[in-house]
Amino acid sequence: MQKFGGAIACALTATASGAAPVVPSAEQAPPAVFSPATLARADALLGKMSAEEKLGQLNQLFKFGKAPKLDVMVREGKLGSLLFVTDPAEINRLQRLAVEGSRWGIPLLFGSDVVHGYRTIFPVPIALAASWDTAMVEHVSAIGAMEARAGGISWTFAPMVDVARDPRWGRIVEGAGEDVHLNAEMAAAQVRGIQGPRLGTPGRLLASVKHFAGYGAGEGGRDHDAANISDAQLYNTYLPPFRAALQAGAGSVMSAYMDLNDVPATGNRWLLSDVLRGQWGFQGFVVSDNNAVLDLESHGFARDKRDAAERAFHAGVNMEMASYVNAYAHLPEALKDGAITAAEVDAAVRPILATKIQLGLFEQPYVDEALARDVAARAPAHRVEARLAAERSAVLLRNEGKLLPLSPTAYRRVALLGPLGDARQDTLGPWVFAHDLADTVTLAQGLRAKLGADVRLDVAPGVQIKRTTPSPFESIFKERSPAKWDAARAADELERALALARDADVVVLALGEKQDMIGESASRSTFALPGEQQQLMERVVALGKPVVLLLMNGRPLDLGWANAHVPAILELWYPGAQGGAAAANLLFGDASPGGKLPFSWPRNVGQVPLYYSHNLTQDPSEQGRRYWNEPSTPLFPFGFGLSYSTFTVTDIRLDKTEMSAGGSLEASAVIENTGTRPADEVVQLYVHQRHGGASRPVRELKGFERVTLRPSEKKTVRFSIGPKELGYWSAATRGWVNEASTFDVWIGTDSKAALKASFTQTR
């Protein structure tokens, strides 16, 4: 293995158009993850350890149930980390075996997927991204980290920063959607929250940025399928969020499952060593995704398990994550045979030991069980944060005739209909393990609490929705889904719901996808509302009552009909444990929606991939008419979201209209709340390069700010535009360039913003 902690070496060249090269600068190298003292201590430890003990640090296994073999492995120093142990007492027992029972007392790293909260469940990551509120995202990530650390976890497999431009892929719910800049900003915010200002901040965790790299680009949106990505797309689209996470100090990286341009990511030396360590100077360690090293054999890449271990090891995977058996068990033989060297082993183990040292695990290896209880007792404060996060993540997609917010006094009977109206597990979304399900406030509970005793609330699912093939994660859901309704029950339930709708003054529909219909192993070939939900919606709307559609989902759904017939549509995503309370506040105007879509919402699945930052290419005037059957534009653009108030953006200004490459300028505009309610709006900056060494996207998000304004209040929002915003990786020169050209700048409230200015960059 080579180049661990190597210096940054970006190959940056001048362009054919003669622009100045982007000079690699110190700020491009990520901050040092380890202090010199930490590295010296790790080296001293390495000097004492046997080869077997060193290789033991490279193993991470799952722990489900009683696994006595693990105890022996821990005592013999053959395990570096365990996954999925969440009981503090069991963590202490195992840690005692490592610290007091093994020769060098090296503590275990306990890992878990703390993806959107630990005990307190926040909205799913795509929802957090829709808040466009990095401070809030940092804050809730910090709460999740603190709760997990108090429970004995020291490492989370988050953030997921895979750019996702094909929403058939279920894991779009775990990231920030289609955009590079939004993904990068959310990645950095999450790392800051998870790790604190530096790795080893008390009460925080080690972050693992995943899945390196290109996992979001699997063919056909099919989970785990191959990704074929050009170098230009890799450097300009898929890699920058990883880079941003490392700049924020992320101490570990998880390698992805799929083939990247034919070479499996987990055996891809170019990716894991040349780019990650060589070009970027990453100092921390790489963990494989679960069983991804073993999978190198099933990819038809490695000959057998031992070959898989050697290939992953040489590619740059320090630690292997595996469920029960692992390929790295073959590394001792490989070392004996000379297939891997002692120096390579030291280089692989050093950052793992350094991480344990830096995290303070040698000093404080055990869980303070009283603290764990105390954190649970503080959960009420965390619940408030969870509600605010859900309110800030919601996106108002339609509000004809200002139906929303609903008047709290106008209705005597409210019907809440749909399969997601009273569904605890679904309200939370995927990737939750350590919570108490009873803490979940469903939509029904939230509305009931809001409406009080004088208003009657009727709740009915109307229809049942189920996956066609079961989810592989079903065994770990705390709320098992009921058996499939037979035809008679299905007919009865539908009629019961329609009868309630008939008697109601207002109907709230809660539709979307169950949480097991999204996430890992949850790709889909259609965006139709699953089951009979469309029919339920159409029959309810036909009754002529005011109807509000609440959506729970993590990917776009077919909303063409709803957008023409349902007056109000509010996207809640999977809003987390306080989702119902947040939804009630939003419905009745105690909170105003201010979230924005983190992806372009297609009209139907046939448009996919559909993203706003496409290239101009041939005949741009036909861009919206590339299909003869319907427009090739999205139903709702990226960055879109309505409010209960109204806003104008005016007075776009650039402080210069000409600058030389390497310089920077300030773009500003004035936003005003022209409505009657205090509310939030997200001001967005987009930039386009008119000509140069490559065809560039029609526009790209380069800055945003979420502002809160009172009625008539104005604010000047300012953005800086410089080499970071204007440089790109050119397929013509095969390097980073920052070219002489004319640039257009838009400032507005979604990716269709029309307010525009331009400037010229000279050499």
Q: Which is nearer to ligand BGC, 209 or 504 (CB)?
A: 209
Of the candidates 519, 549, 530, which has an alpha carbon nearest to the alpha carbon of residue 468? 530
CB 157 to ligand BGC: min, Å = 3
How is residue 223 written in tokens? 């989970």
Of the candidates 549, 543, 579, which has an alpha carbon nearest to the alpha carbon of residue 562? 549
Q: Which is nearer to ligand BGC, 322 or 500 (CB)?
A: 322
Of positions 34, 157, 242, 759, contacts ligand BGC by CB under 6 A: 157
Asked if 698 and 610 touch (Cβ cutoff 8 Å), the reply is no
CB 194 to ligand BGC: min, Å = 14
Asked if 740 and 661 touch (Cβ cutoff 8 Å), the reply is yes
How many alpha carbons lie under 13 Å from residue 570 in its C-beta half-sphere? 35
Stated as kind and residue range, the H or E segment containing 308 is: helix 305-315
Sheet holding 59-62, edge to edge: 285-288, 252-255, 206-212, 155-156, 109-112, 81-83, 59-62, 320-322
Bridge partners of 721, per DSSP, are 665
Q: Which residues, 700 to 759, sit near ligand BGC by CB under 6 A? A: none
CA atoms of 320 and 60, how far apart (whole Å)? 6
CB 290 to ligand BGC: min, Å = 4
Q: Distance between terminal CA atoms of the chain?
A: 41
Residues 511-550 as x/- pattern, contact with ligand BGC by CB under 6 A: ---------x------------------------------
CA atoms of 651 and 668, how far apart (whole Å)? 8
**CA-only gyration radius of the chain, Å:** 26
CA atoms of 431 and 438, how far apart (whole Å)? 17
Q: Which is nearer to ligand BGC, 113 or 310 (CB)?
A: 113
CA atoms of 717 and 649, how far apart (whole Å)? 10
Q: Which is nearer to ligand BGC, 29 or 187 (CB)?
A: 187
338: left (phi over 0), alpha (psi -120 to 50) or beta: left
| 295 contributes a contact to ligand BGC by CB under 6 A | no
Q: Which is nearer to ligand BGC, 178 or 289 (CB)?
A: 289
Q: What is the largest CA-CA distance in the chain?
A: 80
| 289 contributes a contact to ligand BGC by CB under 6 A | yes
Bond preceding residue 334 cis, omega within 30 of 0: no
CB 319 to ligand BGC: min, Å = 13
Q: Which is nearer to ligand BGC, 157 or 638 (CB)?
A: 157
Would you call 154 exposed, middle or buried from its count of C-beta atoms within 10 A (0-12, 13-18, 19+)? buried
Q: What is the bridge-based pairing of β-strands 700-709 and 679-689? A: antiparallel
| Residue 64 CB partners (closer than 8 Å, separation 6+) | 84
The residue sitting closest to ligand BGC, measured at its beta carbon, is 157
Q: Which is nearer to ligand BGC, 157 or 686 (CB)?
A: 157
CB 5 to ligand BGC: min, Å = 25
Q: Which residues, 593 to 652, sit near ligand BGC by CB under 6 A? A: none
Q: Which is nearer to ligand BGC, 210 or 524 (CB)?
A: 210
Residues 461-500 as x/- pattern, contact with ligand BGC by CB under 6 A: ----------------------------------------
Residues 245-264 as x/- pattern, contact with ligand BGC by CB under 6 A: --------------------
Of the candidates 124, 182, 159, which has an alpha carbon nearest to the alpha carbon of residue 598? 182
Q: Which is nearer to ligand BGC, 245 or 649 (CB)?
A: 245
Q: Which residues, 103 to 122, sit near ligand BGC by CB under 6 A? A: 113
Q: CA 678 → CA 449, 594, 645, 651, 673, distances in Å?
A: 24, 11, 7, 22, 8
Residue 653 backbone dihedrals phi, psi, to 5 degrees: -140, 145
Q: Which is nearer to ligand BGC, 170 or 240 (CB)?
A: 170
Q: Which is nearer to ligand BGC, 138 or 289 (CB)?
A: 289
Q: Which is nearer to ligand BGC, 175 or 421 (CB)?
A: 175
CB 427 to ligand BGC: min, Å = 22
Q: Which is nearer to ligand BGC, 114 or 447 (CB)?
A: 114
Of the candidates 228, 235, 231, which has an alpha carbon nearest to the alpha carbon of residue 259? 228
Stated as kind and residue range, the H or E segment containing 357 is: helix 342-358
CA atoms of 61 and 288, how far apart (whole Å)? 11
CA atoms of 513 and 518, how far apart (whole Å)? 7
Question: Would you give the distance in Å from CA 254 to the centre of its chain?
Answer: 14
Residues 204-233 as x/- pattern, contact with ligand BGC by CB under 6 A: ------x-----------------------
CA atoms of 170 and 168, how far apart (whole Å)? 6
CA atoms of 244 and 145, how far apart (whole Å)? 19
CB 208 to ligand BGC: min, Å = 8
CB 96 to ligand BGC: min, Å = 25
Of positions 141, 190, 201, 290, contacts ligand BGC by CB under 6 A: 290
Bridge partners of 653, per DSSP, are 668
CA atoms of 154 and 356, how far apart (whole Å)? 9
CA atoms of 441 and 429, how far apart (whole Å)? 13
Total Cβ atoms within 10 A of residue 292: 28
CA atoms of 612 and 638, how far apart (whole Å)? 7
Helical H segments across 76-154, by residue range: 88-101, 125-130, 134-150
Total Cβ atoms within 10 A of residue 752: 16
Please report the beta strands in 381-484, taking only residues with DSSP state E, as ranges in sequence order.
395-399, 413-417, 456-460
Write the DSSP string, 670-701.
EEEE-SSS-EEEEEEEEEEE-SSSS--BS-EE
Q: List the catalytic residue out of 113, 162, 289, 750.
A: 289
Question: How many amino acids of this chain bind ligand BGC (CB under 6 A)?
Answer: 6
Residues 58-97 as x/- pattern, contact with ligand BGC by CB under 6 A: ----------------------------------------
Asked if 386 and 439 touch (Cβ cutoff 8 Å), the reply is no
| 54 contributes a contact to ligand BGC by CB under 6 A | no
> Does residue 289 have an active-site annotation?
yes
CB 67 to ligand BGC: min, Å = 17
Catalytic residue ranges? 289
Q: Which spans of this chain sit near ligand BGC (rule: CB under 6 A)?
A: 113, 157, 210, 289-290, 520
